[in-house]
Amino acid sequence: MNGRHWIVAPLLVLLLTACGGGGSGSSGYTVSGTLSSAAGTAIDSDTNDPFATTVGNDSPATAQEIPNPVLLGGFATKEATGQAGDVFATQPDEWDAFRTPLTGGQTVSLTIADHPGGNFATPDFDLYLATVADPETWVATSTGETRTETVTVPSDDEYYVVVHAFAGASNYLLNILPPATSSGAATSPPTEFVPGEILVRLEDTMLPLGMADPLAHFAAQAGLR
């Protein structure tokens, strides 16, 4: 079915306590509980969900502030989806920019949910880092064609973490690991979402012509070019 996507909403934990009924002839139960968001999780402020509040985050000026560390669920698309009812039915969501302080040596990984797993496949997303002080210079990039892109933070600073939809459309997981775990095989989130995550099913973007450098586009949004 064309245009189906799965996104991770902020991870929610439902704590339920059941108490047995007392007295003869009674078999009822009382259920009470608390619904709360897990710490260290976030959601992209401009997903394709028509029922969510959409706040653009596609430039340095509108970058979404996020915690560190964080596991964030997001959506991006190179081109308009063309699906009636979609937030991005008639326009792309090519860029997602996030702002956060990072520590040198930390690992940032991007996992493309709808990527089939092989090389040279679509969707193809890229991952970039730029300092807030100099948004026109990428200090770390990952522009491969596999399901996961990974960068290492070069030094302590405040950064823009930028997701770019080079081709296709997909939901994604952006994972900023704590400094102590930013090494080796721990750099990628699990292939499947773990129990406790809430999955939301939604009905159902290479650069504009003449703009060959993604950095040029991002810097232009900052008024630098």
Q: Report domain extents, the chain.
A: 5-221
H or E stretch including 34? strand 29-37
Q: How many CA atoms lie within 13 A of 11 on its CB side?
A: 13
- Mean pLDDT is lowest, of 87-101, 102-116, 205-219, for 205-219
Classify the C-alpha dihedral 73-76-225-130 as positive or negative: positive
pLDDT of residue 221: 54
pLDDT band at 120 (very low <50, low <70, confident <90, very high): confident
Give this prediction's pTM: 0.68
**Residues of the chain above pLDDT 70, percent:** 63
pLDDT of residue 12: 27
Closest CA to 140 of 95, 115, 172, 110: 110
Please state the length of the chain.
225
pLDDT of residue 119: 74
Say which residue the tokens 């997909």 belong to: 170
Q: Let me know: does 163 contact 92? Beta carbons within 8 Å.
A: no
- Residue 45 scores a pLDDT above 60: yes
Cα–Cα distance measured from residue 172 to residue 72, given in angstroms and rounded to the nearest whole number: 8
pLDDT of residue 182: 53
Mean pLDDT over all residues of the chain? 75
Q: What CATH number matches the domain at 5-221, 2.60.120.380, 1.20.120.430, 2.20.28.160, 2.120.10.30?
A: 2.60.120.380
Cα–Cα distance measured from residue 86 to residue 91, given in angstroms and rounded to the nearest whole number: 10
Cβ atoms within 10 Å, residue 40: 15
pLDDT band at 220 (very low <50, low <70, confident <90, very high): low
Q: Residue 140: is it exposed, middle or buried by C-beta count within 10 angstroms (0-12/13-18/19+)?
A: middle
pLDDT of residue 13: 26
pLDDT tens for 123-153 read 999 999 999 999 999 999 999 999 999 999 9
Q: Which residue has the higher pLDDT, 146 or 212?
A: 146
pLDDT band at 117 (very low <50, low <70, confident <90, very high): confident
pLDDT of residue 213: 54
Does 190 sit behind a cis peptide bond, omega within 30 degrees of 0 on the bond before it? no
